Chain A
Amino acid sequence: MRKIRFIPLVIFLLCTLLTQAQTPLANPPVEMADGMRSNGKIYVVVGVLVIILFGLFAYLISIDRKVSRVEKSIEENKK
């Protein structure tokens, strides 16, 4: 009697395993731009952005130095 009760329990447990096994099939992997990276082309974009960023930094630094020079010249005029 005990063994007979045990059988449906095992079947139900196997059913849960089955549904779990199916979940990856129900959710296919999300498409990402992995191919772009593997082709190496994303490095071009990164390169372009780094160049732009460094151009902006150079510009900011030059403005910063200009302001420092003006500050200095005002100080010297006072003396």
Chain B
Amino acid sequence: MIKKDIFSKSYWKYACVVFLTYTVIAGFLMPVPALEILHETIRNLYFHVCMWFSMMFILTVSLVYSIRYLNKPNEDYDIIASQTSYVGLAFGILGLITGSLWARYTWGAWWTNDPKLNGAAIALLSYFAYVVLRNAMDDEQKRARISAVYNIFAYVMMITFVMIYPRLKEVDSLHPGNGGNPGFNKYDLDSHMRMVFYPAVIGWLLLCCWVASINIRTERIKRHLQNQ
């Protein structure tokens, strides 16, 4: 019996289409604050930052399902935990590449020694290790259990290096809201940008969930056919 749940429903996928279409149109046409150095690249906020938000969200889902798997070893929890972390990794890589391009034209280099860049790279490497770890084991239950435990560790690494380390007072970051500064920079508070930024976050989050849902459903079919 193949499970039917919210992943097969379509209403939230239509919402995703609406939000992202709005993001692309309003993201280019709405007024933005005129700032030195950034100029029009400030519009990257609607795309680059949303990659990271989506990654954080989907990896949190992955963590929750890993914990649920350890609590009750249900095969479906392992499927959701693994597929969501793969999608989270993909969105993280997109965030890293787009950030690198943005950095080239605003900070002057493809890669700087910014704590957030290095932290994000370490976080992604810990999720690469998750993929390698999963592929290294054949026994399904063993793989599910060990990778669930590792996933909790990888999530803690990710939060530490992406959220906590760049915010320490001792390190200085080029990113807004870092280096001892708790809030976002003033351009985030612009009311015109908020009108695009919040729907953009929702839209990209839903797209991330959509891709993950397709992965989850195909993996369910694969396991179902294997078990027959």
Contact = CB atoms under 8 A, between A and B. Distances in A.
A37 interface: yes
B210 A60 contact: yes
Interface in A8-47: 29-33, 37, 42-43, 45-46
A66 to B, nearest CB: 9
B224 A74 contact: yes
Interface stretch (B86-94, B96-104, B135-143, B214-222): B214-222
Nearest to B2: A71
B153 interface: no
Nearest to A75: B2
Contacts, number: 62
A27 B47 CA distance: 30
Nearest to B213: A64
A71 B39 contact: no
Contacts of A31: 34, 39
Given A33-B40, A67-B214, A46 B221 contact: no
Given A49-B24, A50-B24, A74-B2, A64 B36 contact: no
A1 interface: no
B39 A68 contact: no
Contacts of A50: 21, 24-25
Q: Taking chain B's interface residues, is the majority helix, strand, or loop, or is none over half, making it mixed? A: helix
A49 B43 CA distance: 14
Contact of B28 (A45, A60, A68): A45
A45 B29 CA distance: 10
Contacts of A42: 28-29
Interface of B: 1-2, 4, 8, 10, 13, 17, 20-21, 24-25, 28-29, 32, 34-36, 39-40, 210-211, 213-214, 217-218, 221, 224-225
21 contacts: A30-B34, A30-B35, A30-B36, A30-B39, A32-B32, A32-B34, A32-B39, A32-B40, A33-B40, A42-B29, A50-B25, A53-B24, A54-B21, A57-B17, A57-B20, A64-B214, A67-B221, A70-B221, A71-B2, A74-B2, A75-B2
